[in-house]
Structure 1
């Protein structure tokens, strides 16, 4: 068996692997990438971010059209099913794969098809169905992503028990759905199914939705989910699941039983680190399959890096790409300081969306930072009134003495786009709330919310 050698070998073609491979290639490193699936893109493209957000867009478009006074009557008899709406994601996935395939071709990065397993600290065997090859490298970057966590007591082979991957292959139109887990994925799917017209119960193991977010924002989301018909059960834990021929029953520790057509398990993810021969190298994944890394994304073997979901939080596609790039930057310059995410935004694609960057009110209160809040309700904005997207708000948290912008939190249509204006201002040395006062915004736009919120905040100062 012949052996090929590369300076950098990347394992996994999701955002983290792509970021690493492109960075290595641009810096003239001899790099190759291993991918076990037949197409590049990783879970983000094929089972996670892209198909679920394409589904969300299709559901929201249908919902908005039915509410439109001009289109609604014409669509009264239109009945689109969950599988029909889901089919819209196929075009997006195919386009994304084609674009990413070309990235590797243009940058001369060989794609090695198969599963990677370490034979020793410097050798990997890549095995496909009918062939295998050995690869040696100076540096390895593990970017294998994650998959939904499966409790051993749940039977995921039953057609009425699905996770966030297999729900995208569900071929019926459910009348009722129970979602266990009210984190980002669970909340997003609750929005999708309730806007599709399903009866949705969202079971939350904590006392409020997504406690890492601003409290006012999550309260707004809870309100709108309930207004749309979603039932939210807080502080509940699973005792058991009873799949039956025509339905499935979730048994909770409180004694409550919830019957539905479909149970979507959305409570945690597991890193894809199994069967890679890592344990023999002294690299032992934790109970969720994640590898421990330092501030440079190095594992216990300094020449082996782990980036993206397999390295743990924040487990965001946007962050994973940056992590992959940084790992290669550290290979190029080992004197680089540990990586710190500065002003990393989050985007949560519920209906309406949530996005934020910077600190929350709870964090500022904890640290005794003198701050004030400027707020703009979307119903005040002409653009929101025109598009009938009046549900939402923009919050700007700023230092009460220096006017430095400390956090931006947005709930409403296009929140994940709107937040980047605040992010850009916060990244400047001259970061100040006054930017939003002095800058001319196009009118009418949603961006105008920054001007309204800034004036609202200044009016609150003593």
Structure 2
């Protein structure tokens, strides 16, 4: 594509979350004219109401937990020369204001980056008018504009699913986007839903000092994760005092004025001070004119896309939580770049979901990538598994880490094809395994790579060495 053709290539992006943001920067980098429309703020839900604020809250919970456990490492606290037992108190109003300020700052930084790069950013809403035009309604002045686009990228994200008999009110009953209005720590938080979001908030509020009850419709928390990891987290939750109800559903959640009452499917009523409804999300695709433009959607409203984020219309792409791909910020960002590379004729490697590393920010964290042990046991792939408990690691002992493990999966030929890390900062530790999978390294190649002694990553090398098969 010539430079003149690139400048004529107008990319219109609806949604400024991680996918839309990365797509915009990639488009400008390749010489296209780029317009991005975002209704709430650059960064979208990921920055303003989801990933950034929730992980900031979790970081505060981790700090509180470290202080509480410091005495087990020989750290003593004193006041006026007298040794005292530390009592951690949380000013949730200050915590929430900090995380909202941080989210707003991150959004502002992203907006400045886009504008400096030459992206036209419009604060407004948009819908497709056919597959080559977008109608934009600006929020500031209410003006409408119909613009022609050679490529349209839909990156509108998703919103929390609501239950008719457990409607969030922002007072006592919340979605995860409403929690940051709290000014006082909940006395008893009842979490409905034991997926990633429910488990993360249950872990965080427990560490902050709330009583927590977790209601799971499945036989264990985190049902989609590695079985050993899910079992460990449930064990840690129960040990830390979290009340867990498995194999049951919340039929109704009521704000009584002084608290909440949650009625379970068996008729049992659980009383608490607040409730969090974490039962999945719904794509923000309604009213966008997608079906009228010939873009295929699933029954749930998700946009059907292929590995380069292309929809059923050749010039319309979709990325992020509104699509049939994994609802992860990292995947959305990769999809955004890939979509632009593809439409601009640049080198575009298809997104391989098998190679995507994901993380659950509980305490400890759970990170995973590639083929799972369950899939190996089901015969979907052939290979070997090695699991090493983290309490045998010298650095873990030094830090007082008792819970966690490293699990490595390799093919029968010795290629690294999967891994699970359950540990503090598992989100960082999983990277070396993800690199090994992406580059088809063998366990021997991974094992001969030097690690620092002592380090938690040393156990990854230990697992790789244990999977060595003699060439006899």
| Structure 1 and Structure 2 fold alike (TM over 0.5) | yes
CA shift digits 1:89-131 (9 cap, x unpaired): 2343244223312321232111011111233433222211423
DSSP-derived class of the 2:317 partner: strand
Q: Deviation digits for residues 294-328 of structure 1, max 9, x if unmatched?
A: 44433333222111001133100000001111111
Which piece of structure 1 moves more, 273-282 or 417-426?
A: 273-282
Match of 1:449 in 2: 459
Q: Are 1:29 and 2:44 matched, yes or no?
A: no
Give the match for residue 418 of structure 1: 429
Task: Give 2:210's match in structure 1, choosing from 198, 217, 224.
Answer: 198
1:62-83: CA deviations, max 9, x gaps? 1211221225566735522333
**What is the distance in 1 between the residues matched to 2:314 and 2:157?**
20
Counterpart residue number, 1:308: 320
Asked if 2 retains the 8 angstrom alpha-carbon contact of 1:372 and 1:461, the reply is no
Distance 1:213 1:122 in 2: 41
**Residues 1:212 and 2:215 are matched in the alignment:** no
Number of the residue aligned with 1:228: 240
Equivalents in 2 of 1:275, 1:381: separation in Å? Answer: 54
Which residue in 1 is equivalent to 2:200? 188
Deviations 1:317-351 (A, max 9, x none): 00000111111122123996864335110111111
Q: CA deviation at 1:404?
A: 1.8
Residue in structure 2 matching 1:130, options 141, 152, 158: 141
SS at match of 1:291: coil
Q: Which moved more, 1:305-314 or 1:183-192?
A: 305-314
Matched, 1:333 2:336: no
Aligned to 1:88: 98
**Aligned twin of 1:428:** 439
* Secondary structure class of the residue paired with 1:300: coil
Match of 1:60 in 2: 62
Aligned to 2:45: 43
**8 Å contact from structure 2 (residues 444, 465) kept in 1:** no
1:350-396, Cα deviation, whole Å (9 max, x unpaired): 11100011111110121264433222222222222222223211111
Distance in structure 1 (CA, Å) of the matches to 2:447 and 2:313: 51
Question: How big is each residue's C-alpha offset from its partner over 1:7-43, in whole Å with a ceiling of 9 and x where there is no partner?
Answer: 1100111011012111111110111111111x31110
Where does the alignment leave 5 or more consecutive residues of structure 2 unmatched?
1-7, 79-83
Are the structure 2 counterparts of residues 305 and 72 from structure 1 closer, same or farther at C-alpha, using a change threshold of 3 Å?
farther
Correspondence for 1:297: 309
Match of 1:97 in 2: 107
What is the CA deviation profile of residues 226-256 of structure 1, one whole-angstrom value per residue up to 9, with x for unaligned ones?
Answer: 1111122121122222221111111111222
Relative to structure 1, is the Cα distance of residues 449 and 162 closer, same or farther in structure 2, using a 3 angstrom cutoff?
A: same
Structure 1 contact 143–308 (Cα < 8 Å) conserved:
yes
Unaligned runs of 5+ in 1: none
- Say whether the 8 Å CA contact 2:443–2:465 is kept in structure 1: no
Distance change in 2, residues 1:36/1:372 (3 Å): same
The number of aligned residues is 455
The farther-off stretch of 153-162 and 166-175 is 153-162
Change (3 A) 1:300 1:454: closer
Q: Name the TM-score, length of structure 2 as normaliser.
A: 0.90
Report the CA distance shift for 1:281/1:222 in structure 2 as closer, same or farther (over 3 A). same
- Name the stretch that deviates more: 361-370 or 8-17: 361-370
Q: Which residue of 2 aligns with 1:397?
A: 409
Distance 1:49 1:197 in 2: 22
Q: CA deviation at 1:213?
A: 1.8
Task: Determine the structure 2 residue equivalent to 1:8.
Answer: 11
Which of 132, 147, 150 pairs up with 2:162? 150
C-alpha contact (below 8 Å) 1:418/1:447 kept by paired residues: yes
SS in 2 for 1:80: coil
Aligned with 2:122 (options 102, 107, 112): 112
Q: State the shift of 1:451 in Å.
A: 2.4
Task: Give the Cα–Cα distance (whole angstroms) in 2 for the partners of residues 12 and 81 of structure 1.
Answer: 34
Is the Cα–Cα contact under 8 Å of residues 192 and 276 in structure 2 kept in the other structure?
Answer: yes
Q: Is the Cα–Cα contact under 8 Å of residues 302 and 322 in structure 2 kept in the other structure?
A: yes
| 1:199-220 deviation digits (Å, cap 9, x = unpaired) | 1111111222223321111111
| CA displacement at 1:289 relative to structure 2 | 3.4
Moved more, 252-261 or 68-77: 68-77
* Mean CA deviation greater in 389-398 or 244-253: 389-398
Does the 8 Å contact 1:375/1:456 carry over to 2? no
Q: 2: CA distance between counterparts of 1:461 and 1:231?
A: 51
Is 48-57 or 251-260 further displaced after alignment? 251-260
Distance in 1 between residues matched to 2:287 and 2:380, nearest whole Å: 48
- Partner of 2:23 in structure 1? 20
User: Distance in 1 between the 2:436 and 2:394 partners?
Assistant: 24
Tell me by how many angstroms 1:406 deviates.
2.1
Pick closer, same or farther for the CA change 1:272–1:380 going to 2, 3 Å: same
CA–CA separation in structure 1 for the residues paired with 2:379 and 2:296? 36
Range that drifts further, 257-266 or 362-371: 362-371
The Cα RMSD (Å) is 2.5
Aligned 8 A contact 1:375 1:452 in 2 = no
